[in-house]
Amino acid sequence: MAKVRVRIPATTANMGPGFDTLGMALKLYNEIEVEEIDRPTEIYNNDLKLEKDFKDNLIYKSIAETMNRQKYPYEGLKINVIKCDIPICRGLGSSSACIVGGISAANAIMGNKMSLENIIDLATEIEGHPDNVVPATLGGMVISLRVGEKIKYSKVTIPSKLKFVAMIPSFQVSTALSREVLPATYLKEDCIFNISRSAMLISALYNSEFDKLRICFGDRVHQPYRKNLIKHSEAIFKRSKELGSIGEFISGSGSTLMAVLDENVDEFMKSMKNFLDKLEDNWNIMLLEPDLEGAKIAS
């Protein structure tokens, strides 16, 4: 019976003005192993069997949905989460990693019956929006949009000089809560604000116009409302700017905050860690580079 291993990257989404549209894969990974078995499905974490109902597991749900749609017969699955470095409910695409990992594993077991577009469309349907699942599948930074039931995407070149610093707190912010705080309607000037920033962000990245990035990461659609759910966010963004960051944004729906650097990385990391250590909650700081491969089946 078939057995596959899949590595899936973390993702940061929205990236300021690109609400539900922009996302980027990062070199922080989960890894799963999926095997067909002739008994009921079993879920493991580092070879330790979990007793929870497997039907609630998002990896299993994604595999089952994929196989059922392709009418692929299976009796049971052994799902082993070998590596789980992506923090849960921190705005780094942990649910997308489960979905993309499950679909990719199922497709490999079935003999790669699905096209890349099929994988992306199904992953978006399960997740609800494409900004995390598309870069998790493809790697790199990606613009994604929905056209009917299909997802169209375009990859963005990221200047190699840019580094991304994730500041990850011990507390979570649920995606459901982060969407509840958003208004139902927006002023025309706020829409124009975000459209202009999104357009210039892509151009500034292509042209390595780093001096414009701070303006380009501006947002009036989600960050003004979500920052109140993330304690110390304003103070951390202010300190990041003081230490030389060229832009900051909330990663996904939070609670992770992201700073963008083009120089003095070591000095920033040291000084920001000292700042974060003085806050009441535990904050972890990680220097992350873009992942350019996306979900990868181990050879």
Q: How confident is the model at residue 52 (pLDDT cuts 50, 70, 90)?
A: confident
Q: How confident is the model at residue 56 (pLDDT cuts 50, 70, 90)?
A: confident
**Residues 77-88 pLDDT 10s:** 999 999 999 999
Rounded mean pLDDT, 242-247: 97
Supply 294's token pair. Answer: 């996306």
Residue 191 annotated as binding site = no
Q: How confident is the model at residue 50 (pLDDT cuts 50, 70, 90)?
A: confident
Q: How confident is the model at residue 175 (pLDDT cuts 50, 70, 90)?
A: confident
Length of the chain: 299
Give the span between the Cα atoms of 33 and 47, in whole angstroms.
10
What's at 180, amino acid-wise?
Answer: E
DSSP secondary structure string for all residues of 71-120: T---SEEEEEEEEE-SPTTSSS-HHHHHHHHHHHHHHHHTTS-S-HHHHH
So what's the pLDDT on residue 62?
97
Report CA-CA distances (Å) from 295 to 94, 147, 216, 292: 13, 24, 29, 10
9 three-state secondary structure: strand
**Residues 7-29 pLDDT 10s:** 999 999 999 999 999 999 999 99
CB neighbour class for 287 (10 Å; exposed up to 12, middle 13-18, buried from 19) = middle
Residue 216 annotated as binding site = no
Residue 97 annotated as binding site = yes
Give the span between the Cα atoms of 90 and 75, in whole angstroms.
34
Residue 95 annotated as binding site = yes
Residue 5 annotated as binding site = no
> What CATH number is given to the structural domain containing 64?
3.30.230.10
Report pTM. 0.93
Supply 213's token pair. Answer: 């990035």
176 contacts: CB under 8 Å, gap ≥ 6: none
Q: Do 114 and 181 sit in the same domain of this protein?
A: no
Q: Do 246 and 108 sit in the same domain of this protein?
A: no
Give the span between the Cα atoms of 191 and 264, in whole angstroms.
34
Q: Do 137 and 167 sit in the same domain of this protein?
A: no
Domain count within the chain? 2
Q: Do 167 and 148 sit in the same domain of this protein?
A: no
Q: Do 119 and 171 sit in the same domain of this protein?
A: no
Sign of CA dihedral 14, 294, 30, 114: positive
Residue 88 annotated as binding site = yes
Bond preceding residue 255 cis, omega within 30 of 0: yes
**Residues 115-162 pLDDT 10s:** 999 999 999 999 999 999 999 999 999 999 999 989 999 999 999 999
Q: Do 151 and 236 sit in the same domain of this protein?
A: no
Residue 252 annotated as binding site = no
Q: What is the extent of the structural domain holding 169? A: 163-288
Q: Do 42 and 75 sit in the same domain of this protein?
A: yes
Q: How confident is the model at residue 54 (pLDDT cuts 50, 70, 90)?
A: confident
Q: How confident is the model at residue 299 (pLDDT cuts 50, 70, 90)?
A: low
Rounded mean pLDDT, 87-98: 95
Q: Do 152 and 29 sit in the same domain of this protein?
A: yes
Residue 178 annotated as binding site = no
What's at 51, amino acid-wise?
Answer: E
Rounded mean pLDDT, 158-179: 91
Percent of the chain with pLDDT over 90: 89
Rounded mean pLDDT, 269-278: 96
Give the span between the Cα atoms of 96 and 126, in whole angstroms.
9
Rounded mean pLDDT, 28-52: 90
> What CATH number is given to the structural domain containing 190?
3.30.70.890
- Return the bridge partners of 36, or none: 77
Residue 16 annotated as binding site = no
Q: How confident is the model at residue 47 (pLDDT cuts 50, 70, 90)?
A: confident
So what's the pLDDT on residue 1?
67
So what's the pLDDT on residue 298?
84
Q: Do 122 and 206 sit in the same domain of this protein?
A: no
Q: Do 148 and 199 sit in the same domain of this protein?
A: no
Q: Do 150 and 228 sit in the same domain of this protein?
A: no
6 φ/ψ angles, rounded to the nearest 5 degrees:
-130, 135
Structure-model confidence comparison of residues 1 and 7, the more confident one? 7
pLDDT at 256 exceeding the cut of 70 = yes
